[in-house]
Structure 1
Amino acid sequence: MNQPQRCIATKPPLFTTALFAAALLGTAPAWAGPVGTVVNLSGALLAKKADGTAKVLSVKSSVEQGDMLVSEKDTYARIRFIDNSEITLRPNSQLKIDNFSFEEDKPEQDNAAFNLVKGGLRAVTGTLGKRNKEKFGMNTPTATIGIRGTIFIAEYIAPSEAALAAYGMASVAAASYTDARSDMPMAVPLQVLPPLAQAPAVPGASSSRAPGLYVQVLDGMIHLTNQGGTQNFAAGQFGYTPSFSQPPVILPSNPGIQFTPPPAFSTGSGSQTGSGGPGGSDAVDCVVR
């Protein structure tokens, strides 16, 4: 059987990594070695490393703590972690593995922290989440997802660039507002700005839903927590929260969540590959510097 080839490429000037602010607050990883493996792949998948390099992944490629996984257009990617949990990324998604620590005989050291920066995924709980559910957390721009032994789908729709620009301008105006009598800065509530959830749909976008985090629970239970409060969601329920300051709510029906990976993803065969071709015999792991 041919072994995967490896290549080294020079990073082009425009190939930059957008760091997610919350990830900057993390500490150095304590777990050494791979934390998961790509078992199904339908297109291009990239792992951006903390040292600035990037690796094009194929089926059977390892993922590590600190990786930012980026799925390209039309790419679904299923990753199985060392505790037998699974996360399947949908196209145009970014997921940061902030922390993952698991040893079969050391449950007290369990820790799983993810960061859904963009797009969506389906998560299936493994041993870690079943024996230490409080040690699992998934941050998103609008809420943190906690589990109680479950299978769930999460999808984050970002506001339009115009809405973000307007919100940023309002933030600056609030920060610089002063009281005419005391000439001291005052805290001006940003509620004067229309909520980001009400921003108009982006022309040509695949979804006309309002920006925010959408969830669907397929089995078990999850809870969403942000500055607005905490809400539990049971199997069969759908949820939504538009911003980190507004409480999560239960939706009466499916708001339009669609998660349709290729049929091979449900077989567990790992036979679907990206550019490496059937079976992965010609797969190339390419490190970009």
Structure 2
Amino acid sequence: MSHRLTILCAGLLAAAAAFAQPTPAAAPQPSAEAGAEAAAGFIKSAQGDVRVLGTDGTGRPARPGDRVLPIDRVSTGPDSGASLVLRDGTTLVMGPESRVDLKQFHFDPTTQEGGILVSLLRGSMRMITGLIGRTQPDAVRVETQTATIGIRGTDFIVTDSGQP
């Protein structure tokens, strides 16, 4: 069976929508943890089995308020979901059995310039863009295993079965 990439209307992912609430541009600060690297954002909510995997290969359970670095992977198990809020106000809502890599995130709050590159490896994700998406839509990209999506809107859902 061939790989399917489906872009759905925002209302079709009801389970993930329960996690999403539009976030004001000035998102709350993530909780402080060890490490000097600047956080890209934080975990807003996590239900079920949600884990954050850093570049050092260690995984940890995700809890609301935990910071997410610009190169972290977030995964959800069956019957699980999570929402992340990035520093520019972008919200990522992950459905069950999803895996998302935050490959690149940079944002200057003074100039409101930045860029986002997210890779959906498996599952479903809703993205509600923040300041970067509103002011520089070309600077926001979502990759799947077979396609790269350039963002022209501010709220969309993408699913990927993870099967080539």
How far did 1:88 drift? 0.3
2:151 is the counterpart of 1:151:
no
2:76 is the counterpart of 1:71:
yes
**Aligned equivalents of 2:58, 2:45: Cα separation in 1:** 23
How far did 1:150 drift? 1.5
How far did 1:106 drift? 2.8
**Aligned equivalents of 1:158, 1:52: Cα separation in 2:** 21
Q: 1:133 to 1:152 in 2, by over 3 A?
A: same
8 Å Cα contact 1:99-1:111 kept in structure 2: yes
Partner of 1:42: 47
8 Å Cα contact 2:112-2:131 kept in structure 1: no
- Structure 1: where are the runs of 5+ without partners? 7-30, 165-289
- Structure 2: where are the runs of 5+ without partners? 1-30
Stretches of 4+ aligned residues off by more than 6 angstroms: none
Q: Secondary structure in 1 aligned to 2:64?
A: coil
**Aligned equivalents of 1:158, 1:51: Cα separation in 2:** 23
For this pair of structures, how many residues does the alignment match? 131
**Aligned equivalents of 1:74, 1:120: Cα separation in 2:** 13
Q: How does 1:71-90 map to 2 (within 5 A)?
A: 71-90=76-95
Q: How does 1:3-82 map to 2 (within 5 A)?
A: 32-82=37-87
How far did 1:105 drift? 1.5
2:115 is the counterpart of 1:128:
no
* Cα-Cα RMSD: 2.0
Deviations 1:110-157 (A, max 9, x none): 111111111111110100111111111111011101112320010001
Q: Which of 98-107 and 73-82 deviates more?
A: 98-107
The amino acid across from 2:104 in the alignment is N
TM-score, normalised relative to structure 1: 0.43
Deviations 1:11-67 (A, max 9, x none): xxxxxxxxxxxxxxxxxxxx9411111112221211111111112111111111110
8 Å Cα contact 2:51-2:62 kept in structure 1: yes
**Aligned equivalents of 1:127, 1:43: Cα separation in 2:** 30
Q: In proportion to residue count, which structure has more strand?
A: 2
Q: Secondary structure in 2 aligned to 1:130?
A: helix
Deviations 1:62-115 (A, max 9, x none): 11111011111111101111111100000100000001011121344x111111
**Aligned equivalents of 1:151, 1:85: Cα separation in 2:** 10
8 Å Cα contact 1:111-1:136 kept in structure 2: yes
The amino acid across from 2:77 in the alignment is E
**Aligned equivalents of 2:119, 2:95: Cα separation in 1:** 15
Q: Secondary structure in 2 aligned to 1:73?
A: coil
**Aligned equivalents of 1:64, 1:116: Cα separation in 2:** 16
8 Å Cα contact 1:107-1:132 kept in structure 2: no
TM-score, normalised relative to structure 2: 0.74
8 Å Cα contact 2:124-2:157 kept in structure 1: yes
